[in-house]
Amino acid sequence: MDENKRPMSGLYLLVPGLGQVYCGEVLRGIAIYLATYVLLFLWLLGSLWLLDFLGFPFLNGYLLLPFLLGLAVWAFGAWDAYTWNRKMLAGEIPWKAPERTHLVLFIVAAVVLVFIGLAVTGLLLALFGFAAMISMFSYESRLPDITLTAEKTGGVITIQNIGNETADYAGFTVVVNGQKINGTYRAEPRVPFTVNSTNATDRVVVSMVSYTDGMHRTLLNTTV
């Protein structure tokens, strides 16, 4: 064997497309690297729920596909480079000596693209978090159109929202005569919430807990 014709090192198979560049197939190597990069980057964005932020929520159900395709392209690239190198060593195809300049430029470009992908992902995460925070504070800045009333008929107290919106808060509570009532009340418009009366005169307090600041907001405080 010509001493210049050396078997490919296994390290060249660890980077998608690098083995092809070693064999002198630069464009083939670039294509394999970009295909692997794009597929795995798409999978990363979906895994971090950034596809929703970018307006492609329907792709979330297919996240396994780009991941598997990315690994498949990566594996194909390693196999292709290995067999291509073996054929050159055996004289089945013309030998192309590795170009050190091409190898160095390819590695540098590959590393730069990885850092760009990580930077873009970090920026999207920051923007996504900022947008979510702004959205939450915007929702908190205006209370929904809620007007609660409480009426007692016989031994039953009926609480009802005569407004037009639902108070969908995590800590929505109803307290009658100082006792918290078990159950979930969302104050849906025109949907009554009933509790049993315990005294001739009952004190009814309905409050909610804000998602952002944790503060209690009283929506109803009356005696029936």
Report the interhelical angle of 26-47 vs 64-89 (nearest 10°): 160
pLDDT recorded at residue 144: 61
28, 55 Cβ separation under 8 angstroms = no
pTM: 0.59
Q: Strand pairing of 148-153 and 179-180?
A: unpaired
Could you give the domains of the chain?
10-140 (no CATH), 148-223 (2.60.40)
Report residue 98 as tokens.
């590795």
Instruction: Give the model confidence (pLDDT) of 65-107 as tens digits.
Output: 899 999 999 999 999 999 999 999 888 999 888 889 999 999 9
Instruction: Decide if 29 contacts 17 (C-beta within 8 A).
Output: yes
- pLDDT of res. 132: 64
| Backbone angles phi and psi of 36, in degrees to 5 | -65, -45
